[in-house]
Amino acid sequence: MQLGNTHWTMLCLPSVRPPTQSPGNGWATGFVVDAERGIILTNRHVVGAGPIHVRHLNVPSLPLHPEKAIVGTDIRVVGNDAAEKLAIASGTLARLDRDCPAYGLNTYNDFNTFYFQASSGTSGGSSGSPVLNQDGQVVALNAGGKMGTSASFYLPLDRVKRVLEALQKDATAVVPRGTLQTVWPFDEVRRLGLPADTETELRQAFPTANGLLVVAEVLPSSSCASKLHPGDVLLRVNGHLVRLDLDRAGTVVSVDVLVDDLHAITPSQFLDIGGAVVNPLSFQQARNHGLRPSAPYVADPGTTTSKFHVLDEFGCVLDMIE
């Protein structure tokens, strides 16, 4: 637009929500982990369009100490619980090996990791809060809870710390993230029916451990689809073109599988069709429905296409466009 000799330009910065997230408003918590670089840690469902500006406050960084998470540790969860300006919930770490909660079929679910658990009674608003020990060290990230109870679930910080340290070395670096597109729950050794010599060898190598990873799900069309079977017990891993030694019904089987780049199967672009948003099916949603990643996925049907019943269902996968 031109007014006299002055040219006016309107800059549009589109904001696209992550897969499985819907537009809306709410309250949550985040905390600074690197003040110099402006890095804030919070939960995935909390992240919105940036940048975020903090004025008139000198906010210190909170160091991450995942190794300090020990059963019996007294903790404090500091955040905006129930949208309060400041709330401090207390508890004691009871478990470090709690299975990840299943939040639903069309939503984001963690897997292939443990959660910590304590009865701190946190609720909405405390998502993304730091979980502190008595020395003020961050030992976990508040991630969720169980409705109608005081149970709270925390995300371990070992992988988070790895990513943070990589970004501190090179802010433009793409942190390597590999996947076998397989879900590996943890099961107790005694329940797996392993041969006695195999169980003895494992207990000697890992005297404090009591379980192994077991194949539960393998995504179709993945590099592991024809090589891993549900129920396989992982015994050993070697290399990047990974050789896995598995116990399959009492017989040791060795398979070579390719480690996929998790970034490559994470949506990085989208298509707008009359207000509808279509993007490649994410690994997260592919895992939820047992489909192959990268299939065309309707993240938002929009108003125009749903009016004419063209794309009127959220979360459907397209087979063909003519």
Q: Which of 21-25, 43-47, 52-56, 201-205 has the lowest mean pLDDT?
A: 21-25
What does the mean pLDDT of the chain come to? 81
Identify the burial level of 191 via C-beta atoms within 10 angstroms of its C-beta, where 0-12 means exposed, 13-18 middle and 19 or more buried: exposed
Range 175-184 average pLDDT: 85
> How far is Cα of residue 123 from the mean position of the Cα atoms in its chain?
20
Nearest one of 30, 152, 29 to 93, comparing CA atoms? 152
Q: Are 276 and 304 in contact (CB under 8 A)?
A: yes
**Is the CB of residue 30 less than 8 Å from the CB of residue 47?**
no
Rounded CA-CA distance 90/122 in Å is 9
- What pLDDT was estimated at residue 166? 92
Least confident interval from 13-17, 239-243, 316-320:
13-17
Q: What is the pLDDT of residues 268-317, one digit of tens each?
A: 888 887 777 888 888 888 888 788 787 888 877 777 666 555 555 566 77
Is there a common fold for 9-169 and 181-258?
Answer: no
Residue 40: pLDDT over 80: yes
Alpha-carbon gap, residue 51 to 262, rounded angstroms: 26
pLDDT (0 to 100) of residue 11: 40
Check residue 74 and give its pLDDT: 95
- pLDDT (mean) for 223-244: 84
Per-residue pLDDT band at 132 (split at 50, 70, 90):
very high
Predicted pLDDT of residue 156: 94
| Structural fold of domain 181-258 | Pdz3 Domain (2.30.42)
- Cα 154 to Cα 1, 27, 127, 138: the distances in Å are 51, 18, 10, 11
The verdict on domain 9-169 having CATH code 2.40.10.10 is: yes
Buried b (16+ CB within 10 A) or exposed e, 136-173: ebbbbbbbbbeeeeebbbbbbbeebbeebeebeeeeee
Q: Are 29 and 79 in contact (CB under 8 A)?
A: yes
Q: Domain residue spans in the chain?
A: 9-169, 181-258, 263-317
| Cα radius of gyration rounded to whole Å, the chain | 23
3-state secondary structure of 279: strand
In order of 70, 294, 312, 320, 321, the CA distances from 305 in angstroms are 52, 22, 7, 16, 14
Report, as an integer, the average pLDDT of 248-259: 87
Residue 40, beta-bridge partner list:
32
